[in-house]
């Protein structure tokens, strides 16, 4: 599976010597680097070989074929020339397996592909207007400046926005999409011919009072080039509401970091980091147990954002309406066709797995508004391996951003201000 480590992404090729420059100019994580366009490359004086290398590596990263990156770059060919090679040449020159050849030659597919809501657009930035009490979080959003790239030239920043907008245009959902609501859970299918009933799920979003005082501990920082892989000194517990004091936050609750389906969801979601950055959304992964070797394998390969420990499992209890959502391996996986389909989907992405740690506690996803505005969205892992629909997550993120820009104090999710 393609790693989010910058060192793994650039490999031993021509981009390696460019790492200090990329760090200085804010291109310091893989999802952001992959959307660099021609103007951005010119702005930092990339050579043609480096431009070709970035194009090749981004293409391979999307298709989970990074094991061939160094060899393909060393060939001196550009991506277009490589795509014109026959299967015999791909095997003889690069040792590419037949199944990998099919994935490499398919120019339309991406392992990360997921539809965007049809209503989503990314207009050009404009100065932030004074807050209006008459505005709604459901109006068309406008995008604020991306903090980490504020030092870049105006031309480069505009090019960055254009690239984001194009990436959205590439992921339009089909007509007739039905938004699943604030509490979204994928439907369950009959298990063992209806003899086994799925565990019940809640219908209401978690009240804000149940999440604002949760205590979490930071296990990793947000990944940047050359930083330490884990937080060296044990950080003290913190109140989780501090995380969304100034910006809305997305919290991905991971059932088990070694699980192939959990890793696939985390990878898919984090690959859209530039979009969430542009919308002003913080991203966090939440674990309910701390196995250091598992955290080290999970970050930053599958998730480059901050990883938090919820030792008391309070987020996971909130997903279940106050109690943990659990399922057994036999009834919840072997007898569950949807869970098995989820496993096959993750397996097709070339992800490794292990069976360390507790794996019966269901996870999910929360999106929480800035300050005390409440829980805007909650997704429950009803079946093992269910993913929050990215179209819905992006849609809610745009509403949160619009809500924040207009200075409103209430929103369409939970309004518990106790």
For residues 48-60, give the mean pLDDT.
Answer: 96
Alpha-carbon gap, residue 384 to 389, rounded angstroms: 15
Is the confidence at residue 410, as pLDDT, over 80? no
Q: Of 410 and 106, which is predicted with more confidence?
A: 106
The mean-pLDDT minimum among 50-54, 113-117, 398-402 falls in 113-117
pLDDT of residue 290: 95
pLDDT of residue 413: 46
**Cis? peptide before 300, omega within 30° of 0:** yes
Average pLDDT, the chain: 80
Q: For residue range 307-317, what is the model confidence (pLDDT) as tens digits?
A: 999 999 999 99
For residues 184-206, give the mean pLDDT.
Answer: 75
pLDDT of residue 184: 65
The mean-pLDDT minimum among 23-37, 48-62, 251-265 falls in 23-37
Q: How confident is the model at residue 203 (pLDDT cuts 50, 70, 90)?
A: confident
Which range, 108-117, 222-231, 302-311, 402-411, has the best average confidence (pLDDT)?
302-311
pLDDT of residue 299: 94
Is the confidence at residue 142, as pLDDT, over 80? no
Q: Do residues 307 and 331 make contact, with C-beta atoms less than 8 angstroms apart?
A: no
Strand partners, 116: 172
**Predicted TM-score (pTM) above 0.85:** no
Is the confidence at residue 146, as pLDDT, over 60? no
Q: Which residues contact 61 (CB under 8 A, 6 or more apart)?
A: 2, 9, 30, 34
Q: How confident is the model at residue 392 (pLDDT cuts 50, 70, 90)?
A: confident
pLDDT of residue 218: 94
Tokens standing for residue 247: 């910006």
In percent, the amount of the chain with pLDDT more than 70 equals: 76
Is the confidence at residue 389, as pLDDT, over 50? yes
Is the confidence at residue 411, as pLDDT, over 90? no
Burial of 162 (0-12, 13-18, 19+ CB in 10 A): middle
Q: For residue range 158-186, what is the model confidence (pLDDT) as tens digits?
A: 455 555 554 444 444 445 544 444 566 66
The full DSSP string for 280-325 is: T-EEEEEESS--HHHHHHHTTTT--SEEEE-TT-HHHHHHTTSS--
Coil, strand or helix at 249:
strand
Q: Of 176 and 138, which is predicted with more confidence?
A: 176
Q: For residue range 279-296, what is the model confidence (pLDDT) as tens digits?
A: 999 999 999 999 999 999
Q: How confident is the model at residue 123 (pLDDT cuts 50, 70, 90)?
A: very low
pLDDT of residue 140: 36
pLDDT of residue 144: 38
Any idea which residues carry the catalytic annotation?
Answer: 259, 262
Q: Do residues 187 and 389 make contact, with C-beta atoms less than 8 angstroms apart?
A: no
Tokens standing for residue 370: 């800035």
Q: For residue range 56-82, what is the model confidence (pLDDT) as tens digits?
A: 999 999 988 999 999 999 999 999 999
pLDDT of residue 261: 95
pLDDT of residue 384: 92
Closest C-alpha to 279, from 198, 376, 181, 364: 376
Q: Cα separations (Å) of 145 from 136, 151, 202?
A: 21, 11, 37
């Amino acid at each position: 599976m393609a790693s989010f480590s910058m060192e793994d992404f650039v490999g031993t090729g021509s981009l390696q010597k460019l790492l200090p420059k990329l760090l200085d100019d804010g291109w310091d994580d893989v999802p952001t680097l992959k959307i660099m366009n021609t103007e951005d490359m010119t702005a930092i004086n990339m050579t043609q070989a480096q431009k070709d290398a970035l194009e090749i590596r981004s293409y391979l990263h999307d298709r989970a074929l990074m094991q061939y990156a160094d060899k393909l770059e060393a060939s001196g060919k550009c991506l277009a020339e490589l795509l014109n090679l026959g299967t015999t040449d791909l095997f003889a020159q690069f040792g590419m397996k037949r199944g990998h050849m099919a994935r490499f030659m398919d120019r339309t597919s991406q392992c990360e592909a997921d539809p965007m809501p049809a209503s989503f657009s990314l207009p050009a930035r404009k100065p932030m207007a004074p807050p209006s009490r008459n505005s709604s979080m459901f109006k068309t959003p406008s995008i604020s400046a991306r903090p980490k790239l504020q030092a870049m030239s105006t031309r480069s920043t505009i090019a960055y926005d254009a690239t984001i907008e194009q990436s959205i245009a590439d992921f339009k959902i089909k007509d007739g999409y039905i938004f699943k609501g604030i509490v979204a859970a994928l439907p369950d299918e009959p298990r063992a011919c209806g003899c086994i009933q799925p565990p019940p799920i809640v219908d209401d979003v978690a009240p804000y009072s149940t999440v604002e005082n949760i205590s979490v501990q930071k296990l990793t920082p947000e990944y940047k080039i050359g930083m330490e892989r884990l937080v060296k000194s044990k950080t003290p517990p913190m109140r989780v509401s501090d995380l969304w004091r100034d910006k809305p936050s997305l919290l991905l609750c991971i059932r088990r970091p070694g699980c192939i389906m959990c890793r696939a969801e985390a990878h898919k979601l984090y690959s859209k980091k530039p979009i969430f950055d542009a919308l002003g959304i913080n991203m966090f992964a939440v674990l309910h147990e701390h196995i250091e070797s598992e955290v080290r394998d999970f970050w930053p390969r599958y998730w480059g954002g901050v990883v938090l420990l919820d030792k008391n499992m309070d987020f996971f209890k909130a997903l279940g309406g106050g109690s943990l959502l659990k399922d057994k391996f036999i009834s919840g996986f072997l007898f569950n066709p949807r869970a098995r389909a989820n496993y096959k989907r993750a397996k097709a992405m070339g992800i490794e797995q292990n069976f360390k740690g507790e794996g019966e506690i269901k996870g999910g996803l929360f999106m929480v508004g800035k300050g005390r505005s409440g829980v805007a969205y909650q997704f429950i892992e009803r079946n093992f391996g269910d993913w929050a629909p990215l179209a819905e997550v992006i849609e809610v993120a745009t509403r949160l951003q619009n809500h924040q820009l207009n200075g409103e104090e209430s929103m369409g999710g939970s309004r518990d201000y106790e």
